[in-house]
Amino acid sequence: MKPVSPVTSLRRAPVQRRSAERLTRILDACAGLLDEVGYDALSTRAVALRADVPIGSVYRFFGNKRAMADALAERNLDRFTERVTERLRDTDGGAGWRTVMDTVLDEYLDMKRTAPGFALVDFGNQIPVGARHAEPNTRVADRLSQLLSGYIDRSPDEDLRRTFLVAVETADTLVQLAFRVSSEGDERIIQEARELLRAYLGRVLD
């Protein structure tokens, strides 16, 4: 079992492996329950029971369920970044920005369809978690600008971050629409999203 990375919403970060694994179980339980009962019915007690840990262990890491959901969102972003990095590692070094964009969108769609709790929380923008100044899509855009700048031969400056923010906001809106139309994501809307992103990014990156 891979321990989760430290996240800012934790009351205290795990030090020992046993504690890190317990935190992983808590977040896994939170993700599963989000799919089953939704955020409103989620409780720290139910998470403790599902994770098979004392309720005190949950409160050792989190003050309330909002902080727990925020930590799950941050873990989702870490895992998303890892998955995109791994897929790009398998491409040739000259992968253009269109290949990079497709990889990013494909990994997001795959997590949307398969990752527990992701359909509701994803990176934090589906429920009101976290501080207002730390907008989830801004975090995603900043992460992508750092990760992908080498593939598009651009430094991660303010212009690139703004470009990615516009692209992320656009993709987020259209993907949410696709999953409202179909539980698996309407492919026609997803294709429209790809075309729109290609047209916008092409003006900036070509």
CATH of residue 60's domain is 1.10.357.10
Domain count of the fold of the chain: 1
Q: What is the pLDDT of residue 34?
A: 95
In eight-state DSSP terms, residue 3 is: P
Q: What is the pLDDT of residue 112?
A: 94
- Spatial contact of 20 and 104, defined as CB atoms under 8 Å apart: no
Q: Please name the residues in contact with 120: beta carbons below 8 A apart, sequence gap of 6 or more.
A: 34, 35, 38, 39, 126, 127
Domain that holds residue 73: 17-205
- 10 falls within a domain: no
Residue type, 46: A
**pLDDT below 70 — which residues of the chain?**
1-9, 92-95, 125-134
The tokens for 131 are: 């501080």
**What does the pLDDT look like over 79-136, one tens digit per residue?**
999 999 998 887 765 668 888 899 999 999 999 999 999 988 888 755 554 444 457 8
Measure CA 46 to chain center.
23
Residue of 88, 84, 14, 24 lying closest to 50 (CA atoms): 24
Q: What is the pLDDT of residue 3?
A: 39
The structure's pTM equals 0.85
Q: What is the pLDDT of residue 92?
A: 62
- 1 falls within a domain: no
- HEC readout, 89-136: HCCCCCCCHHHHHHHHHHHHHHHHHHCCCHHHHCCCCCCCCCCCCCCH
Q: What is the C-alpha separation between 47 and 68, in angstroms, rounded?
A: 10
- 121 falls within a domain: yes
